[in-house]
Amino acid sequence: MHFQFFCSFITLVLGVLLTACSSDSNNNDIQPGSSAQPSPSLSAVAALGEKIFFDQSLSASGLQSCATCHDRASAHADGDQLTVPFGGPGMDVQGFRNTPSLRYLSFNTAFFFDAEGTPTGGFNLDGRAASLMAQARRPFLAPHEMANATTAEVITRLRSASYVSEFMQVFGSDIFDSGEASFDRAVFAIQQFELESAEFRPFDSKFDYFLAGKARLSDQELRGLALFNDPAKGNCSACHSSTRTPDGLPPLFTDFTYDNLGVPRNYDIAANADAEYFDLGLCGPDRTDLSGRAELCGAFKVPTLRNIALTAPYFHNGKFATLREVVSFYVRRDTNPEEWYPNAGVDKFDDLPAQYRVNVNTTEAPYNRRPGDMPALTSSEIDDVVAFLNTLTDGYQP
């Protein structure tokens, strides 16, 4: 009873729907440290997928695996904090995009347009992969990643892997007789590892313990949570939902939609030296099926904010190195554009061709301001929001 009263009080003060307090949700409650789909041990397929996930020998360089760019210690994002990772046969070919975290993607869906026409779901930053399995395929063949020339090359490397007998035991002694199918089974195994292993969705951040009544947020963290949810201030929860899902899951801090924020061009990416090159997210260049949808150009997936403190740098192009820079950009992009764009007066939103700059979100708070207006958050309020974001890191020890 005391805990329910406490939650009700917090809800009243902060305007946060803490459905952990509801007796109706107790049966669906996921306690901190547990998995949404508890698995005391991995299936044989998933255990094999774990080995493939960490196997550098499957790359042309012999130095890169899935885990190279999706490091456990960095919430399965890139641990080296480079703008974008390097790969290729000599590990000297720069990529084009920042490496997103793989955490909590098991709750994502294939790409679709909702009833209002909002692009939703899909894997990769542009949603072009329909599943975790499809997402796992591309790095094996991408010239700037594991750089195998063909799937046959991957299969040859699989035949020499230390776990080849296990692979044949799981998928059949004749699996390598069926050509492409053996590669498909390998990426299927990776998918199963990501679906079954609790490390990809532990729900054990400080905020999870707070929701369960097992930890307290500091005054600064509580202020940050209030600002995060306030539609007139941070308004972060408009896309990074902070309430339980309809299925009763703890907050995922993403709605799996897309947004165009006009992030500044990052010249640390070699491709951006070409003035004609633009990464337009949903409408190309990597994704091609929506290339004719001009209104979608420049939109990228809304990431989960879980573990955001571990996954620097930020945005699709790795433009910002710290969370404070990110929150400052959100609230000062339009009030103080000169802080973000070299030629703000004539060339704002400089990482988009002129015809697509109308797609940038300029209507929702905190983007609905003009030069000279007061930013939605003060400097101290920015610090408060950052303090709250740090409570979303997995592995909290009460």
pLDDT band per the 50, 70, 90 thresholds, residue 213 = very high
Give me the helix-helix angle, 164-171 and 151-159, nearest 10°. 110
- Which of 242, 228, 258 lies closest to 331, judged by CA? 228
Average pLDDT over residues 58-71: 98
Indicate if the pLDDT at residue 391 is higher than 80. yes
Residue 220: per-residue pLDDT: 98
82-95 burial code (b ≥16 CB/10 A, e <16):
bbbbbbbbebebbb
Mean residue pLDDT across the chain: 91
Domains of the chain with CATH codes? 44-200 (1.10.760.10), 202-398 (1.10.760.10)
Average pLDDT over residues 355-377: 97
Residue 344: per-residue pLDDT: 72
pLDDT in tens, 4-25: 433 433 443 344 433 333 333 3
Integer Cα distance of 257 and 190 in angstroms: 25
- Which of 251, 220, 330, 243 lies closest to 15, judged by CA? 243
- Is 180:137 a contact under the CB 8 Å cutoff? no
Integer Cα distance of 188 and 97 in angstroms: 24
Q: What is the pTM for the complete model shown? A: 0.90
Integer Cα distance of 209 and 221 in angstroms: 14
Integer Cα distance of 222 and 228 in angstroms: 10
Integer Cα distance of 357 and 102 in angstroms: 30
Half-sphere CA count of 203, side-chain side, radius 13 A: 23
Average pLDDT over residues 190-208: 97
Which burial class, exposed, middle or buried, applies to 173 when counting CB atoms under 10 A from its CB (0-12, 13-18, 19+)? exposed
pLDDT in tens, 266-308: 999 999 999 999 999 999 999 999 999 999 999 999 999 999 9
Integer Cα distance of 281 and 234 in angstroms: 24
Residue 21: per-residue pLDDT: 36
What tokens were used for 314?
Answer: 């930020």
Range with the poorest average pLDDT among 67-81, 105-119, 341-355: 341-355
Average pLDDT over residues 312-329: 97
* Share of residues in the chain with pLDDT > 90 (%): 85
Residue 347: per-residue pLDDT: 83
3-state secondary structure of 287: coil
Residue 20: per-residue pLDDT: 36
Residue 381: per-residue pLDDT: 98
> In degrees rounded to 5, what are phi and psi of residue 206?
-60, -40
Integer Cα distance of 133 and 131 in angstroms: 5
Residue 125: per-residue pLDDT: 98
Pairing of strands 119-120, 112-113: antiparallel
Integer Cα distance of 383 and 389 in angstroms: 10
Integer Cα distance of 106 and 367 in angstroms: 31
3-state secondary structure of 77: strand
- Is 158:148 a contact under the CB 8 Å cutoff? no
Average pLDDT over residues 316-330: 97
- Is 293:356 a contact under the CB 8 Å cutoff? no
Integer Cα distance of 266 and 272 in angstroms: 7
| Residues facing residue 259 across a β-bridge | 300
Indicate if the pLDDT at residue 182 is higher than 60. yes
- Is 300:316 a contact under the CB 8 Å cutoff? yes
- Which of 86, 87, 84, 89 lies closest to 125, judged by CA? 84
Instruction: State the chain's maximal CA–CA distance in angstroms.
Output: 70
Indicate if the pLDDT at residue 201 is higher than 70. yes
pLDDT in tens, 82-113: 899 999 999 999 999 999 999 999 999 999 99
Residue 29: per-residue pLDDT: 54
Range with the poorest average pLDDT among 16-20, 194-198, 215-219, 372-376: 16-20
Residue 40: per-residue pLDDT: 57
